[in-house]
């Protein structure tokens, strides 16, 4: 993990109820730390919210890491930014007095990809993820982390051209091979968050 500007990193924090989880909310390309918050409320109104802003700008749009083109990620940047995010989470846990509260990363699209990268590379910091319309974020980079303590929910459409099914299948396979408890929910359709995805996420959170 690299040093990150903590208080200077734009983010939203809402404490929620002490017995509820804290959702690490990670927006998609072009989003921000504010417009992802309603998704947290839809999943659990009692939950805390920690929502940072992606630190990369692509033609004025906020993103979590650089890419060369659609679907072609700068994997070195993915790795570095995943480390930054893990460092931010560790800072926030101490700064906001979160103690041992459960933190669940919830990401959509590009936010799902950075959540998955952080979970693959820093499972001690990001052990639980709900990934809406995400894909495998590390290209041909080998994953050596022990994920036996990790739990992930991967949701998406079978016709999602922005998160192609072969990449999603690879993601689920790698997670399983490294020992993670992973559930894959596949629906008919493309990129986005469907009502069925929300229902599956609520069920997973309650399990």
Examine residue 1 and state whether it is found in any structural domain, yes or no: no
The predicted pLDDT at position 32 comes to 98
pLDDT, one tens digit per residue, over 119-164 is 999 999 999 999 999 999 999 898 999 999 999 999 999 999 999 9
Helices 110-121, 165-177: crossing angle, 10 deg rounding = 20
CA 63-32-28 angle, to 5 degrees, is 50
Q: Is 148 a catalytic residue?
A: no
Structure confidence at residue 177 as a pLDDT band (50, 70, 90): very high
The predicted pLDDT at position 4 comes to 59
**CB of 120 closer than 8 Å to CB of 147:** yes
Q: Is 84 a catalytic residue?
A: no
Examine residue 199 and state whether it is found in any structural domain, yes or no: yes
Examine residue 2 and state whether it is found in any structural domain, yes or no: no
Examine residue 41 and state whether it is found in any structural domain, yes or no: yes
Catalytic residue among 77, 181, 184, 191: 191
Examine residue 79 and state whether it is found in any structural domain, yes or no: yes
Q: Is 27 a catalytic residue?
A: no
Element (H, E) at 4: none
Determine how many CB atoms are found less than 10 A away from the CB of residue 81: 23
Structure confidence at residue 8 as a pLDDT band (50, 70, 90): confident
Examine residue 200 and state whether it is found in any structural domain, yes or no: yes
For 154, what's the count of Cα atoms within 13 Å in the CB-facing half-sphere? 27
Examine residue 100 and state whether it is found in any structural domain, yes or no: yes
Catalytic residue among 109, 133, 150, 167: 109
Catalytic residue among 44, 84, 160, 197: 160
The predicted pLDDT at position 70 comes to 81
Look at 140 and 80; give whichever has higher pLDDT.
80
Give me the CATH number covering residue 29. Answer: 3.40.50.1820
Residue 70 is part of which domain span? Answer: 11-206
């Amino acid at each position: 993990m690299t040093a990150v500007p903590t208080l200077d990193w734009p983010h939203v924090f809402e404490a929620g109820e002490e017995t509820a989880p804290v959702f690490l909310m990670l927006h998609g390309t072009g989003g921000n730390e504010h417009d992802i918050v309603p998704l947290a409320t839809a999943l659990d109104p009692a939950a805390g919210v920690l929502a940072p802003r992606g630190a990369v700008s692509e033609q004025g749009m906020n993103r979590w890491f650089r890419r060369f083109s659609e679907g072609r990620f700068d994997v070195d940047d993915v790795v570095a930014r995943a480390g930054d995010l893990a460092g931010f989470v560790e800072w926030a846990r101490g700064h906001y007095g979160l103690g041992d509260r459960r933190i669940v990363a919830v990401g959509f699209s590009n936010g799902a990809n950075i959540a998955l990268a952080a979970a693959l590379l820093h499972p001690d910091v990001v052990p639980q993820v709900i990934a809406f319309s995400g894909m495998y974020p590390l290209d041909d980079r080998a994953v050596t982390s022990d994920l036996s303590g990790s739990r992930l929910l991967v949701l998406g459409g079978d016709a999602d051209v922005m998160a192609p099914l072969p990449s999603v299948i690879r993601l689920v396979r790698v997670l399983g091979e490294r020992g993670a408890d992973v559930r894959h929910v596949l629906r008919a359709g493309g990129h986005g968050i469907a009502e069925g995805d929300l229902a599956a996420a609520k069920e997973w959170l309650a399990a």
